[in-house]
């Protein structure tokens, strides 16, 4: 059974207690709008902005693997070993491992049916060496034993968090801020047709809950203002398209602010970027899934087995850092959303001084960041952080 929007909301990790009560009253109003209304842009009342540009074939968008040499170095996979790629995506990391390590077995897992099809193609190229698995991290525990993978049966694992280019760049998937498409953002595609998408979230959550989602998962300082703009806009028409949402968010700020923010490369970034991140994380329950993925790696890796984790924003990296330190991730962190954001900034600034957890030994004290050259060639990897650890 796919999770309902209510369950997604309930499962939200970092401030579960804060968010749940805010949700209670919001679902009923949106539930009355039929799903086909927002998935079909031809329905009356649907506002479409910009050109509905899409490259068409979701499998043709290339994904460039991030920190590839560094990942290969820290995984240090030997001939004949078993490697679990928890996030197969376009298969960039897995393919490099298959090319460079004779006789390796790759368990290629992903929640996205597009990635699964690519893994199936790769299995044809490397008969007997690639085992495609279509599953979320949280479903692996049930599925992997049928592949003969027992606890402590793995030599290496990679978790490359977030989205692939095949998801981000394909307008119909609804992740992209710059390409108009249905406001969807479900990494599982249509595997669970009843699973709520981003349009469900922006139209159903009440204003206060939406504020919390934006502040928590997007670390958006103007969450309240943006949520108010969304609430006002949806009182006229449901919000169903990506660029419709981008314009509503931009409309909450003076015109000169639309691209006034800067990304880490000091390039102008759209004022709705954090809103999109927040919705994506919320819709896909990404933070709970990340914890499930780390727990799976911990269960499956043998002593001496190696884990690499690539993260792309501070929410993810903080979870990985705390997990490898052996902290209890279910323990509530004290403080409101603002305090959590401030604490995150401080953690980012004073990066290291890692404690060993008793279960993991760090293979490198500091996180590995992409070089300037790599970022120039692949700007999408600019915020990547790699953590590498060995199972004790
Ligand atoms: C950054 S891409 C991986 C790219 C890959 N390493 C490559 O080189 O092509 C992340 C992938 O992880 C998948 N993913 C994200 N969360 C997941 C989860 N909870 N369970 C399974 N797959 C997940 C996404 O569908 C996406 O395909």
Ligand 1 centre to CA of 164 (Å) is 6
Look up residue 24 and give its DSSP letter. T
Residue 255: which pLDDT band, with cuts at 50, 70 and 90?
A: confident
**pLDDT on residue 351:** 52
Confidence of residue 374 (pLDDT cuts 50, 70, 90): very high
- Give the model's pLDDT for residue 50: 26
- Which ligand 1 atom is at minimum distance from the Cα of 94? 8
Q: Which atom of ligand 1 is the closest one to the Cα of 289?
A: 19
95 vs 55 pLDDT, higher one? 95
In whole angstroms, what is the distance from residue 85 CA to residue 316 CA?
18
Residues with CB under 6 A from ligand 1: 63, 65, 87, 89-93, 110-112, 115, 136-137, 160, 162-164, 187, 289
- Provide the pLDDT for residue 145: 87
Q: Which residue owns the Cα nearest ligand 1 atom 27?
A: 89
Query: What average pLDDT does range 31-48 have in this prediction?
Result: 34
Residue 179 DSSP one-character state? S
Residue 276 predicted with pLDDT over 90: yes
Summarised one tens digit per residue, pLDDT across range 195-224 is 999 999 999 999 999 999 999 999 999 999
**Residue in 315, 384, 380, 383 with CA at minimum distance from that of residue 169:** 380
State the pLDDT at residue 222. Answer: 96
Could you report the per-residue pLDDT of 321-331, keeping only the tens digit for each? 999 999 878 76
> Which of 374, 369, 375, 372 minimizes the C-alpha distance to 388?
369
Residue scoring higher pLDDT (335 or 242): 242
| Whole-number pLDDT of residue 354 | 58
Go through the domains of the chain in sequence order and give each one's CATH number.
5-56+198-283 (1.10.150.170), 68-165+286-391 (3.40.50.150)
Q: Which residue has the higher pLDDT, 91 or 48?
A: 91
Neighbours of 321 (CB within 10 A): 20
Q: Which phi and psi (to 5°) does residue 227 adopt?
A: -60, -35
CA of 159 to the centre of ligand 1 (A): 8
The residue whose CB lies within 8 Å of the most ligand 1 atoms, and thus the one to mutate among 2, 106, 164, 310, is: 164
- Determine contact, residues 157/391, Cβ cutoff 8 Å: no
- Cα–ligand 1 centroid distance for 225 (angstroms): 32
Q: Which residue's CA lies nearest to atom 9 of ligand 1?
A: 90
Question: Does the structure show a pLDDT above 70 at 3?
Answer: no
CA of 364 to the centre of ligand 1 (A): 24
- Mean residue pLDDT of the chain comes to 84
Instruction: Tokens for 287, please give them.
Output: 């933070």
How high is the pLDDT of residue 341?
A: 53
Query: Which tokens hold the place of 290?
Result: 């990340």
Q: What was the pLDDT predicted at 23?
A: 40
> Which of the residue ranges 92-101, 110-119, 237-246, 352-361 would you say has the lowest mean pLDDT?
352-361
Q: Quote the pLDDT of residue 268.
A: 82
Distance CA 99, CA 83 (A): 13
Read off the pLDDT band of 272 (50, 70, 90). Answer: very high
Question: Does the pLDDT value for residue 24 go beyond 70?
Answer: no
pLDDT of 336 = 53
The C-alpha atoms of residue 263 and residue 169 are separated, in whole angstroms, by 18
Specify whether the CB–CB gap between 95 and 122 falls below 8 A: yes
**Distance from C-alpha of 17 to C-alpha of 27, rounded to nearest angstrom:** 18
Higher pLDDT, 283 or 332: 283
Rounded distance between C-alpha atoms, residue 42 and residue 32, angstroms: 19
Q: How far is the CA of 349 from the centre of ligand 1 (A)?
A: 27
Of 199, 250, 228, which Cα lies nearest the Cα of 50? 250
Residue 241: DSSP 8-state: B
- Residue 51, pLDDT > 50, answer no
Q: How confident is the model at residue 83 (pLDDT cuts 50, 70, 90)?
A: very high
- Pocket perturbation via mutation, ligand 1, pick of 110, 142, 315, 370 by most ligand atoms within 8 A of CB: 110
119 has a pLDDT exceeding 70 = yes
Instruction: Looking at the CA of residue 114, tell me the nearest atom of ligand 1.
Output: 27
pLDDT of residue 348: 52
d(CA 123, CA 85): 14
For residue 41, name the pLDDT band (cuts at 50, 70, 90). Answer: very low
Residue 202 CA to ligand 1 center (angstroms) comes to 24
């Amino acid at each position: 059974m796919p999770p309902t929007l209510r369950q997604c909301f309930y499962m939200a990790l970092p401030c579960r207690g804060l968010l749940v009560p805010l949700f209670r009253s919001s679902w009923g109003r949106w539930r009355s709008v039929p799903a086909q209304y927002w998935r079909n842009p031809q329905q009356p009342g649907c506002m479409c902005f910009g050109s509905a540009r899409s490259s068409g074939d979701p499998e043709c968008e290339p994904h460039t693997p991030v920190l590839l040499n560094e990942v290969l170095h820290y995984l240090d996979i030997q001939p004949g070993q078993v490697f679990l790629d928890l996030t197969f995506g376009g298969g960039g990391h897995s393919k490099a491992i298959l090319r460079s390590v004779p006789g390796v077995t790759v368990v290629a897992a992903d929640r996205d049916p597009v990635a699964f099809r690519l893994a199936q193609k790769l299995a044809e190229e490397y008969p007997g060496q690639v085992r495609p698995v279509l599953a979320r991290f949280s479903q692996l525990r049930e599925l992997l034993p049928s592949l003969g993978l027992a606890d402590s049966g793995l030599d290496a694992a990679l978790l490359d968090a977030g989205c692939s280019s095949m998801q981000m760049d394909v307008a119909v998937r609804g992740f992209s801020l710059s390409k108009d498409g249905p406001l969807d953002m479900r990494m599982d595609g249509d595997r669970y047709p009843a699973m709520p998408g981003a349009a469900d979230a922006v139209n159903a959550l009440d204003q206060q809950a939406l504020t919390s989602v934006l502040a928590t998962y997007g670390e958006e300082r103007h969450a309240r203002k943006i949520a108010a703009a969304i609430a006002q806009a949806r009182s006229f028409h449901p919000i169903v398209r990506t660029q419709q949402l981008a314009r509503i968010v931009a409309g909450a700020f003076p015109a000169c602010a639309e691209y006034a923010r800067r990304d880490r490369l000091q390039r102008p970034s759209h004022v709705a970027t954090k809103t999109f991140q927040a919705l994506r994380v919320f819709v896909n329950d990404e933070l709970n899934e990340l914890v499930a993925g780390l727990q799976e790696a911990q269960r499956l890796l043998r002593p001496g087995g190696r884990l690499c984790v690539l993260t792309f924003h501070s929410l993810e990296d903080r979870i990985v850092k705390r997990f490898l330190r052996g902290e209890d991730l279910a323990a509530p962190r004290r403080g409101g959303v603002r305090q959590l954001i401030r604490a995150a900034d401080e953690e980012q600034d004073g990066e290291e001084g890692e404690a060993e957890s008793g279960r993991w030994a760090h293979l490198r004290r500091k996180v590995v960041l992409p070089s300037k050259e790599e970022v120039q060639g692949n700007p999408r990897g600019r915020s990547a952080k790699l953590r590498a650890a060995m199972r004790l």
